[in-house]
Structure 1
Amino acid sequence: MKISDSDLFFRLHTASDSHRIVSMINRDPNHLLNGIGVTEFEQDLDEPNGRIREHTFVVELGQVTAGYFSLCFVERSSHTDVYCFGTVDMDWRRRGIGTAIFKFIFKRLQGIANQEASPVHFCHRAVSLIAGETACGVDFGMKEQSTLEILCLKNRSDLNDINRSAPFQFRSPALADAEVWADIYNDAFGGNKRAESVIHEFQSASFNPDLYLLGMNNSGEPIGLVSSLLRGTGARIPTLAVRRDWQRQGAGKALLSEILRRLQHTAVDYIRLSVESTNKSAKTLYFKNGFQPEYNRINYAAVCLPD
């Protein structure tokens, strides 16, 4: 049964909503944030310069919290990129709530584009396994931009023969390494990560110094990085980056081998990571280490131009 937009109420998130939101997220095994805790969720809302807390909303249907979403703003020189994290409660999907959320988001982003006299580029990250997510992107005329393949390693016995990889060395980063961490990330991905965001990440509840690593060459120069998060019964490797002038020299393989070796000693049932569908060399590396395709995350894009 479809739900009318008039039956839904959108309001700003308060701290008292976080337990319910986290419960919704963790009921969905395919959610990007599955396994997150309340403390980590709250800390993520305060990502520096992301404007997330002021753009996090709950969606109510009577006395029921039927969904939530957060908008994360990333300032570029010519426009603002906006990414969305959110979910509709699994008991209320396929009833038009996701469509209502999109209407609300586009109206809000158009208002921001007009107010700030600058284009807003919105990215919708649709999980192929969640019914309706890809349809929302298509129905709102968004253009498919790229596809990430989510790979999963479920057979922990595949990790038994992992050894340290020479000639690279590894160490946990400190707050003083924030600039280096951001620089490696930006060099590898062409991003604009800032040191203050890295510091925020290092100070979060999910940061584990044994699972955040800088990779260094024989001269002690940091040339790559890898991070892993433990969430629920699984682990996620959100970032593996190598400076461009050190790519295809074994650094990525060494970083992956080291983080998998360390994950041997945890109690996780599976390990997930994502890779661009067009990155054949990275996929080959992951497949050789026992990862298998699980589902896709399709990035849809739309632009709100100021009137």
Structure 2
Amino acid sequence: MSTTLPGRLREAGELPAPLPVTPPPASARSRALRSRVRSALVHALLAGLTLAVLVPFVWMVSSSLKHDNQVFSVPVQWVPTEFVWSNYADIWTRIPMLTYLRNSLFLAVTITFLQVLTGSFAAYGFAKVRFPGRDVLFLAYIATIAVPWQAYMVPQYILMQKAGLTNTFTSLILLQAFGAFGVFLMRQYYMTIPDELCEAARIDGLSEYGIWARIVLPLSRPALASLALLTFVHTWNDYMGPFIYLTSNELWTVQLGLRSFVGLYDAEYAMIMTGSVISVLPILLVFLLGQRYFIQGIATAGMKG
């Protein structure tokens, strides 16, 4: 005789017997097992690729804490036998590192601001303003991406030289303030914004400048962040541009300054690695701050158009 209430009710016929629990079919279990194995393999592959990408950075940091004769030792010493922390103090006195960083920061911020401004404004015209020949002009402008910089490097330099702008930041700023890639990226993102918003604003009497500034730009923060990050990184790491146009040491960027440790017969590799680690930190900081917008902007830039 059952002593519990459900048992007494079941014996009295007022509560149905519980249904037997049947295990899932073998095919369902095998599919679940295969899914877990596939997920584990994908995660292991991604972890391996991440470690492979981080290897050069880890080697750079490790080399910055060594002596010059230990940087290229065989086998590779991932953990230095002696941590030479003085490298990070000596580099500021060996070269004007602060000046180089300031010059790089000025060029990167200025060129990034101008490229975001001009790229977003031109992209609005190609995406939301209808005029004859718009698509043909856009394709012709984007086609300039396929032309290598080496093809027009000499004519650009002659032009800047005739204008008296060599050995100045102005030459680099003028040459890099406009970019076809930025126009393409922003235009593709603008195509995802409904045209009805712009049409309603035009009916309300808002000008094209007002539509661009008050409606389109606030909705394009992910694309703006993506373009800003890509431009900042490219300008910060640029070597050939400053190498060609900047001859005065007080105008050098950090990439040119690191070349000071390369001598005629030898190079101070430990100092080069120390400067490289310092030069990477601003890029790492910018990426960490704009990572969310960067991924969102790249993921949605090609959804339409």
Q: TM-score, normalised by structure 2?
A: 0.27
Higher helix proportion: 2
Which structure carries more relative contact order (alpha carbon 8 Å, separation 6+)? 2
Q: TM-score, normalised by structure 1?
A: 0.27
Give the number of the structure whose alpha-carbon radius of gyration is greater.
2
